[in-house]
Amino acid sequence: MIEDTELARLRQGCYRVLSAGYGRPSVTRVEQIGAGVAALAAMGLDSFAYAPSVWAWVTALQGTPIGMVATEHVRLFGSGVDGALVAPVESQRLGVNLHGDPARYAARIEDVMRRAGVELRNDDKPPDHLLVELELASALCGAEAADRAAGGDGSRWLEMQRELIDVMTRWIPGFASEVADRDTCGALAALAAATEAFVIHESDMLRLLLAETRGGSR
């Protein structure tokens, strides 16, 4: 059994650690990810169905030379050398190629940020980049945890999380499948698979949590 606040913290940590996976790979980052997942395990990660895919990612990441992961990271998520680009950007996957369309997606995320009172400090990534979306969801879970710890039901933050996750579930499965096809080192395919498993689980989990909040079943 997990305390409600602890569950929010666990989910916050999962978003955070997955988000770290989309940053530039380095030895330090791999160590931090390993430590982060170990901390999540202590919080009850293995109670949830996505846990094996998170473990599979950490195992793949730690078992692959960092230079190879870094090269593949650039090839897939950066410059897209030899046509392998799989942009981890929402508007690139859902938007149509019309003037102003990508901005619509970015504006939606920025709107959630504004309402949540958070801002993007590092502007080398667009607001609808997967790394940013995962960080934002992590911040929302953190706010939910704080609200619950103060005696609230976290519903305001759950609603915002749901706004994010409803759209993420529409594009992340396709993204994960393309990464699986193009990744040659295995670590990034495992990361995308873990992200997909977690996001799909989150869409159901948020509905369950919101139903409890609204229905007052407890």
Positions touching other proteins (CB under 8 A) are 1-4, 6-7, 41, 44, 46-53, 55-56, 59, 196-197, 200-201, 204-205, 207-208, 217-218
CB of 184 to other proteins, least distance (A): 22
CB of 196 to other proteins, least distance (A): 6
Q: How many CB atoms lie under 10 A from the CB of residue 101?
A: 12
Closer by beta carbon to other proteins, 1 or else 96? 1
Closer by beta carbon to other proteins, 47 or else 184? 47
Closer by beta carbon to other proteins, 53 or else 138? 53
Q: Which amino acid is at 202?
A: E
Cα 47 to Cα 45: distance, rounded to the nearest angstrom: 5
Cα 18 to Cα 15: distance, rounded to the nearest angstrom: 5
Cα 177 to Cα 179: distance, rounded to the nearest angstrom: 5
62-83 burial: b if 16+ Cβ within 10 Å, else e: eebebeebebbbebbbeeeeee
Angle at the Cα of 89 from the Cα atoms of 87 and 37, rounded to 5 degrees: 90
Closer by beta carbon to other proteins, 135 or else 196? 196
CB of 20 to other proteins, least distance (A): 21
Cα 217 to Cα 123: distance, rounded to the nearest angstrom: 42
Closer by beta carbon to other proteins, 7 or else 130? 7
CB of 175 to other proteins, least distance (A): 14
CB of 162 to other proteins, least distance (A): 13
